[in-house]
Structures are given as structure tokens and as C-alpha cells.
């Protein structure tokens, strides 16, 4: 029997591929952006109006290692015109490099953790506007503009709460469950393009978004529910996204991958 040809590791598997990371100025999005840059990608760091300084810091961090490899773009992902501007900028910012990757990491969470019957309509609408509508708009734009024929990737960051179904998270979990359903269908609709679509669903990750509004008791309870006895960190999520974004991740398509240390 013939021996298999050894796999040759490519040092920069995403070299000259442009990646948009929404919510890339902090938390999981920031870790993903920096990791993709380490794989050779050109980065478009999307941020909301309140995170300008953080976005500039991420861009400076990336460009200090690989000059002219990152730009920051302010855009509300729930606004179709601003999403179009985000993609226009991605297409025009890096001469000779094509848009290959969308990582949709932008998201909000109601830090009051209300029951569903105590959730205000305004808070519900705001949660779905960013988490669900924003994902829809970004996926729609990406499906029409990402390079076809191989290497195209759409990756949405959702949540393991869709499997855990914890109280106080009704609107947030519902908004992410909708994204998981849409992305799974999108993968089938992209047949023939060479573009894959997947969701990465973290469990409790030690970020600003996670800690907002939580008591020490809540945090300790979540840690105790994880077999690894700790919160996750953004660096636990970023390499999985890097795998899915690269050519070696091509055979993973239409999936929801829960990365949570066994939390659910």
C-alpha cells in the first residue's frame, strides 16, 4: 500500500486574504482578528461608535507586526447602508487582496438578565437588531461579495446557550438560535460557490460582555458547571475560527461548533 504524502504546513495559510471581523475591537472578536492576522490575513476591524479607541489599538497592534495589514471601520451592523459601506471598504483597502472571510462577532446582551415575561419590547428589539438582523445583513452581503471558487468563509459567533437554555437569557439566546438556523441553511444555498458557512458557539468566556451585570455568585456557579473548572478565554475560541477560515477547514460546512469546555 502506497504511503500517504506528508502534509506540508503553510506558515501563513491566509496570506493576502481579506477578513472582516465585526465586533473586532474587543473580547472574542479582538482575539479572532489578531489570530487571523497572525495567519497572514488582512483585517477590517469593525466597531460600534463607543469602541473607537479600542479598535484603533487593535489595528495598531496588528500593523506593528505586519504593516498596512489592518484598518478600522465604524459601522452599525443593523443598518444595511452601513454594512454595505463596511464591505465596500474591505474591497478597496488592500490592493491585490480579495475579500475571502467574514467573521460576524458583533453582539449585545441585556445585562439585567430579565425573564422573558419581564423583557421590555425595546430591549428585545435592540437585541434582535444587532444579533440577528446584523448577522443576516452581514451574511447576505458576504454571500454576494466574498470570492467564489474556493477559500470563501462565513463564520458567525453564536452561543452555547442555544443548547444550555439558561433562564434570564431568553431574548439573547433566541437571537442567536435564529442565526444558527439561518447559517445552516445558508451553507446549503451557497452550493457551487466554494464558500462555507458555519457557527462557532462559545460557552462562558471571560470578556467585558460576559461579566456585565453578573454577581460573583453567578460567575462561580457557571465555573462550577464546567468540567474544566474555569471560564473560557478569547484565546480558546480564536484558533477554532482560524481553522474554519483556512483551507484545511473546508470540509466543515453548515455546522454549529460548541466550544465551551464541556459546559453544555
Task: Report how many helices (DSSP H) and strands (DSSP E) the chain contains, helices first.
Answer: 10, 7
Residue 245 near residue 35 (C-beta atoms within 8 A): no
SS3 assignment, position 257: strand
**CA–CA separation, 59 vs 21, rounded Å?**
12
Half-sphere exposure of 247 (CA within 13 A, CB side): 12
SS3 assignment, position 198: strand
Give the DSSP per-residue string, 97-117: -EEEEEEE------TT---GG
Residue 70, beta-bridge partner list: 43
- Catalytic residue (choose from 47, 113, 172, 263): 172
Alpha helices in the chain (DSSP H): 27-38, 52-65, 80-92, 121-128, 134-145, 161-164, 170-189, 208-211, 216-224, 234-245
Residue 239 near residue 35 (C-beta atoms within 8 A): yes
Place of cell 496570506: 15
Residue 158 near residue 179 (C-beta atoms within 8 A): yes
Active-site residue 172, yes or no?
A: yes
Which residues participate in catalysis according to the annotation?
A: 172
Amino acid at each position: 500500500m502506497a504511503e500517504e504524502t506528508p502534509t506540508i504546513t503553510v506558515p501563513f495559510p491566509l496570506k493576502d486574504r481579506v477578513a472582516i471581523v465585526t465586533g473586532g475591537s474587543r473580547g472574542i472578536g479582538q482575539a479572532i482578528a489578531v489570530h487571523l492576522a497572525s495567519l497572514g490575513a488582512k483585517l477590517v476591524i469593525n466597531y460600534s461608535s463607543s469602541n473607537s479607541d479600542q479598535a484603533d489599538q487593535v489595528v495598531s497592534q496588528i500593523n506593528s507586526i505586519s504593516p498596512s495589514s489592518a484598518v478600522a471601520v465604524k459601522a452599525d451592523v443593523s443598518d444595511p447602508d452601513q454594512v454595505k459601506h463596511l464591505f465596500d471598504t474591505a474591497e478597496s483597502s488592500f490592493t491585490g487582496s480579495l475579500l475571502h472571510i467574514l467573521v460576524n462577532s458583533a453582539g449585545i446582551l441585556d445585562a439585567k438578565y430579565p425573564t422573558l415575561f419581564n423583557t421590555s419590547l425595546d430591549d428585545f428589539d435592540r437585541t434582535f437588531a444587532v444579533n440577528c438582523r446584523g448577522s443576516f445583513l452581514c451574511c447576505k452581503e458576504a454571500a454576494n461579495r466574498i470570492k467564489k471558487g474556493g477559500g470563501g468563509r462565513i463564520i458567525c459567533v453564536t452561543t452555547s446557550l442555544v443548547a444550555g437554555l439558561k433562564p434570564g437569557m431568553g431574548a439573547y439566546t433566541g437571537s442567536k438560535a435564529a442565526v444558527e438556523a439561518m447559517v445552516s441553511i445558508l451553507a446549503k444555498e451557497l452550493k457551487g460557490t466554494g464558500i462555507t458557512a458555519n457557527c462557532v458557539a462559545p460557552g462562558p468566556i471571560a470578556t467585558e460582555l460576559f461579566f456585565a451585570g453578573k454577581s460573583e455568585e453567578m460567575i462561580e456557579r457557571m465555573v462550577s458547571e464546567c468540567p474544566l473548572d474555569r471560564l473560557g478565554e478569547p484565546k480558546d475560541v480564536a484558533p477554532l475560527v482560524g481553522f474554519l477560515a483556512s483551507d484545511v477547514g473546508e470540509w466543515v460546512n453548515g455546522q454549529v461548533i460548541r466550544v465551551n469546555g464541556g459546559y453544555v
